[in-house]
Amino acid sequence: MESRSRSREGDESARGLFQEPCMRQLRIEDCRAVFRSNKAAIHASQSEIKAVCAQLSKALKAEALDSVVLDLLRRLSVYMHPLRGHRMLEYLRHTGAVPLVKAVRRDCGKEVSGFASRLLDSWKAVLIQLQKKQQATATTSASKPCAEFAAAPSSSAARQPESHGKTLLVSSSSSSSASTSSDSEASSKRRTAQTGGRGRVEAQLESYRTRNAALEGEVAGLRAEAQAVKQGLDAEIERLRRELQSKDAQLHRELEVKKRQITSLVLPCEQNKALQTILSSCRAIPRESGSMQLPTAVVSFSHPAPAAPLSANSPANMATPRTTPPQVAAPQIYTASPGLQLRQLRGEPTAVSFASSANTVQPFGSLAFQRMTPRQVWTAAHTPNHPAHP
């Protein structure tokens, strides 16, 4: 009675140990105490072992800590320890514990992988022992005569049916190949994952290539547009350059024309009157071929004009030069034409000279009329002892 009460207490303590809502790490001492209890102790069902396997699978997928995985492995070890023979084979086949423990041995740390290896070795030892028993039974049945089996078919059927023996043989052979099938399944899964990953990478590369081709097309269009804009700008620049050159040439021609023409300029009052008197007198001088032509004249006033206006009948009084140095500012030089259009020049001539169509000298008071080129006029104006001076 005492032993039964103790065993019941041990069963109740073991059930309480493994039915806690929160999982805590099992100590080796606790497991050994349960193993020493000499009972089919835990009475774990397939559903409970499947639940532990599901928790172990979730922990592996979530990459949980090694302590959590080790706790689940120890719980699975305690649940599977009382099982022997065909019952363990059936539980291992229906719960899928072997592939999970192999995955733990492959992926986890050193301590956890070592515990998983020892657990697999213990299950393998149980299955090897079952296979030996089945082989021994098969050898014994083969050594008996067929007549004995025919004489007592009912007793042999009562002990162990032939179909059941065949099932055990098949199950033992399947258990021996469970590890290889699980390995091949895991390797095929890995190959499938690698193939799927390679396919995803290739699809992503293809999308990148398509996008790159689209971008290259856009860049080619932009380059063509930029080239067209550049050609348009070059044509516009060339047109503006030609227009500027034509305008520059036109302005140059106009400037040359203006240089040949005589621009009008209003002189001071007394000087203007004196110059008009001189030109009127010059036009009145008769010549063999007609009146004198005055295309150009250089006029210099080296002294102030007289206060009284000069008449056309007394040009000698107007043209008499001063012998004293001038007391006024620098003389002003003008170019005159018969149309009385004047413009200011540079230089300091001291006489008035006219260029006529004939190479003759026309005296007029103290003035000399002589045909001269513009260079000769300038030289005469800037040379004090030149013969053209009065």
Structure tokens at 11: 């069963």
Q: Which residues contact 49 (CB under 8 A, 6 or more apart)?
A: 76, 79, 80, 91, 95, 97
**DSSP secondary structure, 249-269, as one string:** HHHHHHHHHHHHS----PPPH
User: b or e along 175-196 (b: 16 or more beta carbons within 10 Å of the residue's beta carbon)?
Assistant: beebeeebeeeeeeeeeeeeee
pLDDT per residue of the chain (390 residues) written in tens, 0 to 9: 444 444 444 444 444 444 444 344 445 545 544 444 444 445 677 788 888 888 888 888 888 787 888 888 888 888 887 777 777 788 888 788 888 888 888 888 888 888 888 888 888 888 888 888 888 887 776 665 554 444 444 444 444 444 333 333 333 334 444 445 556 666 667 777 777 777 788 888 888 888 898 898 889 889 999 999 999 999 999 999 999 999 999 998 888 887 776 444 444 555 556 666 666 665 555 544 444 444 444 444 444 444 444 444 444 444 444 444 444 444 444 444 444 333 444 444 334 444 444 444 443 333 343 455 666 666 666 666 555 544
Between the CA of residue 44 and those of 52, 143, 180, 183, 236, what are the distances in Å?
11, 39, 27, 27, 96
Q: Can you give the pLDDT at residue 240?
A: 94
Between CA 5 and CA 26 the distance in angstroms is 25
Query: Is 17 in contact with 79 (CB distance < 8 Å)?
Result: no
Structure tokens at 218: 């856009």
Between the CA of residue 85 and those of 44, 159, 340, what are the distances in Å?
16, 17, 146
Between CA 381 and CA 276 the distance in angstroms is 21
Show contacts of 164-172: CB within 8 Å, 24+ apart.
165/134, 165/137, 165/138, 165/141, 168/86, 168/134, 169/134, 169/138, 171/86, 171/89, 171/90, 171/93, 172/89, 172/127, 172/130, 172/131, 172/134
Phi, psi of 294 (to 5 degrees): -120, 85
Q: Can you give the pLDDT at residue 76?
A: 83
Question: Residue 65 CB: number of other CB atoms within 10 A?
Answer: 13
Query: Is 340 in contact with 362 (CB distance < 8 Å)?
Result: no
Place of tokens 């080129």: 373
Q: Can you give the pLDDT at residue 266?
A: 44
